[in-house]
Structure 1
């Protein structure tokens, strides 16, 4: 199976010699093509810093991060811009849609920047809209959509360019339980049918239970790993809760 993400012994420090904080402490792991991996950990554990380094928003102090064979820790600013455009898709908690554009135009923006022709843009948007069940809102503006619809439009924007890796940062954090469930079912659909590779940071056990594998981070290190295997989602959820109780989390989610 093709390796998409390879994190090798990365470290991340903040501050100076007088007040140095080690946010990431010698973390290594791999994500293969078509995997759906979750990252969990208590506040201050380093999970967001880890995602920021993988997404090229932040840089590592030591170690390497390879995405689809490219070492992003060695790329210059202009190279990083092109790399993000071609290789990464981003899904944020607060959607980050442009209010003056329709859903269709928000999704099309990524393809327009890449210089795709109008016919291909429309074809790709219609295809991704079908997978995410947002065809009925393509001509609506963000203020006309529910939170769940906006997040599915944001997800469509993230995957329409066919990136090597989709990075989701607390994607259900601003959604009610029904909208969260609908979004996560669409994630499953993308992962199962399009083989979309997803790396998702979440504090929520219900959200995490949709992933195939969970990495638990504590004090900047990998504390534990859970693989769903043949477990039902409910069984996997219960195992996640068990690890969180040991980890010292305060997850009160109910299945």
Structure 2
């Protein structure tokens, strides 16, 4: 497999002298192209900090993060903004759709910024919308959509620029069970059919069971990992619960 992401000995400290918190403690990990990786861990374990550093939202205290052979820890803010726009896709818990734009316009925005030909924009959006089952809502505004529909529009927006890596932060956190399942099936489709590389932070074992590999973080360090392999999703889910129990978590918080 071809390596897409390499996290090397990263540390992240918060606070000032006399009151310092170590959020990440010499973390190393690799993600190959086409993988679907979930990150789990107790509250305060560092999982969101890790995602924020990889997504360029936050900076590391030390160490290196290499995406597509580019060490993002060495880039200036201007170059980081360009890298983020061209290489990363984002799916947020609160959707982050612009209420003044239709679903089509929300998806098209990044392509418009990249000055893609309008005809190509329309073709790419309609192809992807068909694949995600959102063709009939493209002309609607976010306030006219359900949570699940908004999140699938967000999925389309994240993948439309063909990013190297899609980063999802608690993508099912604001959804009911039916909408969550539809979203996770969309992510699974993006991964298996479109070969999208996805890294997803979640506290939810059901959500994590859709991934192919799970990294568990505790106290800012990699605690262990699970690989789905040939397990069906139900068996993988049960294995996840076992690790959550080992971590000392409350299983009521992950179901």
Q: Is the TM value for this pair above 0.5?
A: yes
| Cα pair distance change 1:254/1:24, threshold 3 Å | closer
Equivalent residue for 1:198?
198
Equivalent residue for 1:118?
118
Deviates more, 1:60-69 or 1:125-134: 125-134
Aligned residues: 255
Equivalent residue for 1:179?
179
Long gaps (5+) in structure 1: none
Question: Hey, which bits of structure 1, 4+ residues long, moved more than 2 A?
Answer: 251-255
Measured in 2, the distance between the counterparts of 1:213 and 1:50 equals 16
Contact 1:23 1:46 in 2 (8 A): yes
Contact 2:39 2:47 in 1 (8 A): yes
Equivalent residue for 2:8?
8
* Equivalent residues in 2 for 1:1-40, closer than 5 Å: 1-40=1-40
Measured in 2, the distance between the counterparts of 1:245 and 1:254 equals 10
Cα displacement string for residues 148-204 of structure 1 (whole angstroms, at most 9, x for unaligned residues):
000000110000000000000000000000000011011111111100000000000
Cα displacement string for residues 17-39 of structure 1 (whole angstroms, at most 9, x for unaligned residues):
21111000000000000000000
Measured in 1, the distance between the counterparts of 2:205 and 2:33 equals 24
Equivalent residue for 1:251?
251
Equivalent residue for 1:73?
73
TM-score if structure 2 supplies the norm length?
Answer: 0.98
Q: What secondary structure does 2:6 align onto?
A: strand
Q: What secondary structure does 1:252 align onto?
A: helix
Equivalent residue for 1:222?
222
* Equivalent residues in 2 for 1:69-108, closer than 5 Å: 69-108=69-108
Measured in 2, the distance between the counterparts of 1:95 and 1:251 equals 27
Equivalent residue for 1:160?
160
Cα displacement string for residues 113-137 of structure 1 (whole angstroms, at most 9, x for unaligned residues):
1111101111111121122111111
Query: In the alignment, is residue 137 of structure 1 matched against residue 165 of structure 2?
Result: no
Contact 1:205 1:253 in 2 (8 A): no
Measured in 1, the distance between the counterparts of 2:124 and 2:75 equals 29
Cα displacement string for residues 41-91 of structure 1 (whole angstroms, at most 9, x for unaligned residues):
010000000000000000000100000110000000110111011000000
TM-score if structure 1 supplies the norm length?
Answer: 0.98
Equivalent residue for 2:146?
146
